[in-house]
């Protein structure tokens, strides 16, 4: 039987989602629990990877068990064994053909920047930037990033291709805590954090909004944006057309 799970986690004390030898990871912790329940090795396949320190409200993954376990019983069994910084929100059965990664049609990420005074209690959960930014220019710059593009300049590491579609980038100022919402088809390694780094240059008035488009078109980090910290990044939702 194949199952799809929704996962929330506080990424502070993890080395990311993907299983790593001798490292504490979300995938590793969940697989340990499922293997105990299944009495045989279980591997989960995530909708994507999140990096060390990144949080999630609705990461998705699928796995298979030897037997058909009732959903509610399985949910209780998993959560009772997981550490307190991981929680399974829901479980549903899916077809044998379903794949959490390849069937994904949309992901939503949020990034939080604190432009107010330094807040030590939230240091693991947002970017304590602690300076004012030119939000209007950041909004203008974000519009150049929308649509279908080759995002190579904003992706770390090598891939066969860097093509994706960003449907929207919304920016809201919540009394000095800026909330950036990225909605799109695929986000590759460090992509949201690098996009944020470029937008920060605009917000600091170090470059003009149209110079973000220049970097996108030339596929070169000619204005030297930096990757922002992982702690402010959250995977909010992973969506599918239809789950069976």
Choice among 10, 51, 150, 205 that is catalytic: 51
Q: Would you put residue 228 in left (φ > 0), alpha (ψ -120 to 50) or beta?
A: beta
Q: How many helices (H) and strands (E) does the chain have?
A: 5, 10
CA-based nearest residue to 19, from 39, 6, 35, 3 = 35
147 within 8 A of 166, measured Cβ to Cβ: yes
Q: How far apart are the first and last CA of the chain?
A: 12
The CA distance from 154 to 220, in Å, is 9
Residue with tokens 């399985």: 74
> Is 51 marked active-site?
yes
Output the CA torsion 222→224→225→228 (10° steps). 140
The CA distance from 162 to 44, in Å, is 25
120 within 8 A of 47, measured Cβ to Cβ: no
Catalytic residue set: 51
């Amino acid at each position: 039987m194949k199952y799809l799970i929704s996962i929330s986690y506080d990424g502070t004390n993890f080395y990311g989602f993907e299983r790593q030898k001798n490292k504490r990871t979300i995938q590793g912790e969940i697989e340990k629990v499922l293997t105990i329940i299944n009495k045989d090795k279980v591997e989960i396949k995530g909708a994507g990877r999140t990096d060390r320190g990144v949080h999630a409200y609705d990461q998705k993954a699928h796995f298979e068990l030897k037997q058909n376990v009732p959903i509610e019983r399985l949910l209780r069994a998993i959560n009772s064994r997981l550490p307190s910084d991981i929680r399974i929100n829901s479980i549903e059965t899916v077809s044998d053909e379903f794949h959490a990664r390849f069937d994904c049609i949309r992901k939503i990420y949020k990034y939080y920047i604190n432009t107010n005074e330094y807040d030590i209690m939230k240091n693991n959960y947002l970017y304590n930037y602690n300076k004012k930014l030119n939000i209007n220019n950041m909004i203008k710059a974000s519009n150049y990033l929308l649509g279908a593009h080759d995002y190579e300049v904003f992706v770390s590491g090598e891939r066969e291709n860097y093509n994706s579609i960003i449907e929207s980038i919304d920016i809201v100022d919540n009394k000095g805590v800026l909330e950036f919402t990225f909605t799109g088809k695929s986000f590759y390694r460090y992509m949201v954090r690098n996009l944020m780094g470029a937008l920060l240059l605009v917000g600091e008035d170090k470059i003009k909004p149209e110079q973000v488009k220049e970097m996108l078109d030339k596929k070169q980090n000619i204005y030297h944006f930096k990757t922002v910290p992982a702690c402010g990044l959250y995977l909010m939702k992973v969506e599918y057309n239809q789950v069976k």
